[in-house]
Chains A and B, each alone.
Chain A
Amino acid sequence: MNPFASNIRRALGVKAGDFERLEMVRKHLDDHGRNLIPACALRCHQELIDQFIQMLENVETTVAHVNDLVDVASEIARYQIVNDLPHVVKCGADALIADIDWSEQSDLTILSGPATGADAISLTRAFAGASETGTLFVASGPDNPVTLSFLPETNIILIRARDIVGCYEDAWLKLPWGARGPQMPRTVNLISGPSRTADIEQTLITGAHGPRRLHVIIVG
């Protein structure tokens, strides 16, 4: 018996087992009810993708849209050359990333595993993207070790166009669901841009403790 709960009941002047209250809470949890969804999240898919890109570009993120998975490797190589970055990426065991064909990029080193302080560039995969704010949903796990999202200076995130949805609520639906809600991994990271701070004199600086560069590749 949780002593806080009984204290709260005393403060609220209610009894344990009050059927109406229990029903109310059960219903609220079981309904998966949505609150108001902003109109900007209810557009057609193409508009949602455009908005998604726009929102990300507003927060110092670069975005590339490629037609097919076969184009990803060359896009990464291009990005590294343009930004004068080492030709290496570290990634997890994500199935989509595993399907990337690196054969044409012979000088690109692919490492796998969680990030260490020494890794410069990570490649992760977002299971969903919310167009309303240009937000990538990345689930931690063996597919995407969480440190990959935060330790390297450059983070490249891969997302399938069809995983771009309007609102956060739709993004949650892309997780595997159980009876009461999504089965949560250790962390779901909602990422909207490279790390930043305005803690010194309100001056916005990109690249605080996390990545200084974020590049998003939309596939499909």
Chain B
Amino acid sequence: MKSTARSFKENARQALKNQRLQKSLKVMGRGFVEKRAKARAALPEFDALCQQGQAIKTHTLEHLDLYLEVYEKQLAASGGHLHLAQTAQQACQQILQICRNSNARLVTKGKSMVAEEIGLNEHLEEAGLRVVETDLGEYIIQLRKEPPSHIVAPAVHVGADQVEADFRRVHQNLPPNRNLSDPAALVFEARNMLRHEFINADIGITGANFLVAQTGTSVIVTNEGNGDLTQSLAPVHIVIASIDKLVPTLNDASTLIRVLARSATGQSITTYTTFSTGPRRPQDLDGPQQYHVVLLDNGRTEQLAGDFSDALRCIRCGACMNHCPVYQSIGGHAYGWVYPGPIGAVLNPSFLGLEETADLPNASTLCGRCEEVCPMGIKLPDLMRKWREKHHAAGGPPAMVRTSLTAWAFVAKRPWLYQLLTGMMMPLLAKFAGRKHHFRWLPLASGWTTSRDLPAPSGKTFMSLLKKHQREGRL
């Protein structure tokens, strides 16, 4: 996926003007927030479980080399194949090679953010394979040739009428009089269309929410059942997963499962949570004959050593974006790359570089709601601030901003100068504003005054008044 993070401001402006999008975001915003709050309230141990989840992740990351080796051993023992991919490019090539080895033509895919991260679909399609997304949301955006706008609900920005139009455009043999006016009819239509694909697929690709070292198992968490059809009907199952998905044991995975769905959609558990270990067993009557795991690094090992290692705890629940007032205002596409919202603002600069993504960590009020709801206790605002520091150190912010900040700091470090200047300016401004006590426009403050009035100072500064009171012996 090509990044448009560089034009974040323009993306945001368009998003704010987009009435349809605004409508979808409004529905989404309240929905997720309320559902999570309910789920949390229904489980008294929720916060404690989150803390344990964090500890599990931290422990795993601190011993990632060892758990990886255990995982590798167990995977091999179950008859699975491990492929190590240092980069996105390598992962794509390895997957393509597996497809070629079995002369594949049709690939079905469950939802995977890592697959988005490495641009897998494009890669396979360029090589002549047909790739069909089977998660309903992913299927819809694939038809629309759009990237996902949310890591849990990829088509959250699309309206039902748009889906109908897309289905009518793409599904040949669809009688024009067929009723597709409500979500249920659309789901039914997609179900029918995708049935054939599942059954005829040569390769089924899924992601993984967790990899369990103890048993060499990959875990997917879904609601639709598409992931299971994808990985059970095709003769070859490929899992694409990044190294941060490892957890030590089934019991550890169980703890994380308790907080994942509750944080994401407010369900106590998703409809399907599937633990896959190896290919079908000798006596099995169905299931894939081959099981491959493509394990992706793509900069994560480097991240482990750096300032942003906490972000590797992320379990991709999406709570941070669901609760983010910036995300709620502009949606996911404005962020310009795979991961939107607060976690995207923290991850994307590592993947794409700060020059491309500088706006992302800056476009936040640091209100802290993401950190508050993150089940993995990731201090997202602190990490965004860290990117800002790197950006500043690299001379990133525009000269105007740097100069005004430097000037402000210069004055603020000299209280006498500060008081001299502000003591003169504030009464002047107050006078200017007059009885209205605000400005509708002020030079250099147009960012503020295009949509808001700027409150005027009351008059003299606190410090001058205080000194005056003291002189008059009033204090």
Residues of chain A whose beta carbon lies under 8 Å from any beta carbon of chain B: 2-9, 11-14, 16, 21-22, 24-25, 28-29, 32-36, 38-40, 55, 59, 92, 113-115, 117, 132-133, 135, 140-142, 145-147, 149-151, 167-169, 172, 180-182, 184-203, 205, 207-211
Contacts and interface: CB of A to CB of B under 8 A. Distances in A.
Contact of A11 (B69, B134, B271, B301): B301
Interface string B202-238: 0000000000011111000001111011011100000
B48 A4 contact: no
Contact of B272 (A40, A113, A191, A203): A191
A195 B229 CA distance: 12
Nearest to A139: B275
Contacts of A147: 232-233, 286
A11 B302 contact: yes
Contact of A201 (B24, B70, B302): B24
A41 B374 CA distance: 24
B384 to A, nearest CB: 23
B284 A196 contact: no
Contact of A2 (B84, B233, B284, B286): B84
Given A38-B45, A39-B44, A200 B191 contact: no
30 contacts: A4-B65, A29-B70, A29-B213, A29-B214, A34-B251, A36-B49, A40-B43, A59-B267, A133-B269, A168-B257, A168-B258, A182-B215, A182-B250, A184-B278, A186-B277, A187-B277, A189-B228, A190-B275, A195-B272, A196-B271, A197-B136, A198-B153, A198-B265, A199-B140, A200-B140, A205-B187, A208-B136, A208-B191, A209-B136, A210-B272
Most buried by A among B163, B184, B186, B271: B271
A68 to B, nearest CB: 29
Contact of A38 (B43, B270, B280): B43
Q: Which 5 A-B pairs have the closest CB atoms?
A: A210-B225, A208-B224, A199-B137, A11-B305, A184-B277
Contacts of B225: 150, 195, 208-211
B215 A207 contact: no
Contacts of B136: 197, 199-200, 208-209
Interface string B174-202: 00000000011011100100110011000
Interface string B273-287: 111111111011111
Contacts of A11: 301-302, 304-305
Given A25-B70, A114-B286, A12 B251 contact: no
B271 A194 contact: yes
Interface string B57-87: 0010011111111101000001000001000
A54 B283 CA distance: 36
A158 B224 CA distance: 21
Contacts of B64: 8, 12
Contacts of A14: 65
B274 A190 contact: yes
A36 B52 CA distance: 8
A28 B55 CA distance: 13
Contacts of A200: 136, 140, 155, 158, 160, 163, 183, 186-187
Most buried by B among A168, A180, A187: A187
Interface SS, A side: loop
A180 B249 CA distance: 10
Which range holds the interface residue count of chain B? 35 or more
B123 to A, nearest CB: 22
A5 B69 contact: yes
Contacts of A150: 225, 228-229, 232
B287 A28 contact: no
Interface of B: 24, 27-28, 31, 43-45, 48-49, 52, 56, 59, 62-70, 72, 78, 84, 134-137, 140, 153-156, 158-160, 163, 183-184, 186-188, 191, 194-195, 198-199, 213-217, 223-226, 228-229, 231-233, 243, 248-252, 254-255, 257-258, 265, 267-281, 283-287, 295, 297, 301-302, 304-305
Given A4-B295, A200-B155, A201-B160, A12 B59 contact: no
A183 to B, nearest CB: 9
Contacts of B275: 184, 187-190
B18 to A, nearest CB: 16
Contact of B66 (A21, A32, A181): A21
A47 B68 CA distance: 40
A208 B223 contact: yes
Nearest to B249: A29
Most buried by A among B213, B215, B248, B255: B215
Contacts of B233: 147
A141 B287 CA distance: 9
Nearest to B182: A203
B66 A25 contact: yes
A34 B52 CA distance: 11
B59 A28 contact: yes
B276 A187 contact: yes
